[in-house]
Amino acid sequence: MPTFAAQFLEYFDPVVHTPASVHERLRQAFARLPFEILIIGWDLPSEIIAICAKETARQNAKLYRWHPLLSGDGHFVPRPEWKTIGASGQPVNGFKGLDEFTFACPNNPQVREAVFEHLQAALSATHYDGLFLDRIRFPSPANDPLTELACFCPDCVCAAEGAGLDLEFAQREIIHLAKSPTGRLALAEQLFTPGADLAGLMAFRQRTISAFIQSAAEIARANGCAVGLDTFSPALTPMVGQDLSALDAVCDWIKPMSYAHTLGPAGLPYELLGLANWLISGGTPETEAMGCLKAASGLELPASRSALREDGLPPSALENETKMAKRQGVRKVLAGIALVELENINRVPADLFPSELNAYHAGGADGLVLAWDLWQIPLERLEQIAKFW
C-alpha cells in the first residue's frame, strides 16, 4: 500500500481558514484518500494546529511540522549579513526578493545557532509526530551561476580550507569560465556532473548541507519526531548541494520535487530555463544550449525554450527521476506532485491521470506527497488518485 501525504496551510488567513473550515477540509480529504501523513505550515495559531492534530489522530495518521530550515519563515528572518555570497562576491538575494527564498549560509556559526534554536523552540511548543524539512540547500545557481553559485563567504573559505579546499581558487575558475560561451557551457555541464574544475567545490557544498541536516534531524529525533525531507529533483541536486544518498541516511523518507510543469523555484522547467537563458545571453545558440542541458541533465528536453515553457517535461522524465532517486540510495521515495493550477507558476496537465501517476508508479515511488496545498487541491483529484492507487 503506498504512503499518501499532503502539505496543508502553507499560508494562513484567519478570515478564510477558520477552525470550522479547516476541520471540514480535512474531513473531506481523509474521506477520499487514506492519508498517513499531514504536513502543516509553520505559521499557524495553536487552535488550528490542535484541530489538525485531533483529526490526524482520529484518522490514525501522523502530524508533521513543515519547517523551512535555511530561509526565512516569518518568525525566523535571516540577517542580511547571513546571506550566502555568490562567485561574483555579492550576496545572493532570494527569488523576487522574498525572505522565504533567501538562504542563510550553513557554515556561518551564528546561522547555525539561530537556526537550531528556532527549530528546537518550534518543536518544543507543540507536539508533532514528524518534521518535514524544506529549504535545505544552497541557493539554486540556475538563473546566473556567476552571481548565484554560492557560497564564498569568509566562513565557507575557512571551512573549506580546513577540508583541504582552496575555495578562492574555485571562485576564480567560475569567474573565468563565465567569460566565454564555451566556458559557460562547461560550467553549466559541471552543475550536473562536476568535472575537475568544480568537483572539490561541489563535494564540499554537499558535505556542508548533509552535516547541517544531520544536526537538524538529531534535534527532531530528540523531540520524538520522524523526519521527511524536501529536495530538488535528482538531476538537479548537485547544483544546490544536496547528496540524496547522504541525506537518506538521516531521514525516514524523501520527497523529490520532480515538478514537470512548474515555473517557480525547484520546478524542472524553471531551473532549466534559467540555465538556458544564461547560456544564450552569453552567446550560445538556443539549440546548442538546450542540447547541452539535455545531455548534462539526462532529462528529455525539447529543442526550444518555448516548448519547455509551454509543455514542460514528459511523464517519462518523472519515471526516470524517480528511478534515479532509488539508484542514489533513497529507500522511501514519496514523489512530489503539484496538483494546484497557479497562473504563470504551475500547470496541471489534462493527461495527469493516469500518465504522470503511471510514471511515478513505474519509477518505483513508494507514495505521493500532494502539493501545494491540500486546501486548494480539487477534491476530485484526490478521488482520481484513490482510484488509480
Residue 357's CATH number? 3.20.20.80
Q: Which long-range contacts (CB under 8 A, 24 or more apart) does 114-120 make?
A: 114/76, 114/78, 115/69, 115/70, 115/76, 115/216, 116/215, 116/216, 116/219, 118/75, 118/76, 119/67, 119/69, 119/216, 119/219, 119/220, 120/219, 120/223
Task: Kindly report the backbone phi and psi dihedral angles of residue 366, in degrees, each rounded to the nearest multiple of 5, phi listed first.
Answer: -90, 0
Burial grade of 364 (CB within 10 A; 0-12, 13-18, 19 or more) = middle
Output the pLDDT for position 359. Answer: 96
* Residue 276 is assigned to a structural domain of this protein: no
d(CA 383, CA 367): 15
Please check whether residue 83 lies inside any domain of the structure: yes
Residue 91 within a domain: yes
Task: State the amino acid at position 189 in one-letter form.
Answer: E
User: Phi/psi at 20 (nearest 5 deg)?
Assistant: -65, -40
The answer to whether position 305 is within a domain reads: no
Whether the predicted model's global pTM rises above the 0.75 cut: yes
In a domain? residue 290: no
- Cell numbers linked to 145: 551561476
Residue 293 in any domain: the answer is no
Q: Is 187 helix (H, G, I), strand (E, B) or coil?
A: helix
Domain containing 8 equals: 3-270+312-388
| pLDDT at residue number 351 | 77
pLDDT of residue 74: 81
Q: Which three cell numbers stand for residue 272?
A: 532549466
Amino acid 147: pLDDT = 96
Q: Would 287 be classed as within a structural domain?
A: no
Determine the pLDDT at residue 100: 82
Task: Report pLDDT for 76.
Answer: 86
**CA separation for the pair 186, 194 (Å, rounded):** 10
Could you tell me how far CA 149 lies from the centroid of its own chain? 16
Residue 283 domain flag? no
Q: Work out how many domains the chain is built from and give that number.
A: 1
Q: Give the pLDDT confidence score for residue 31 in this predicted structure.
A: 98
Closest among 45, 47, 40 to 8, alpha carbons compared: 40
Q: Walk along the chain (389 residues) in steps of 10 and give the mean pLDDT of each run.
A: 95 95 98 98 96 98 98 88 97 86 96 97 96 98 97 98 95 97 97 91 98 98 98 98 98 98 97 98 98 97 97 96 98 97 91 89 98 95 92
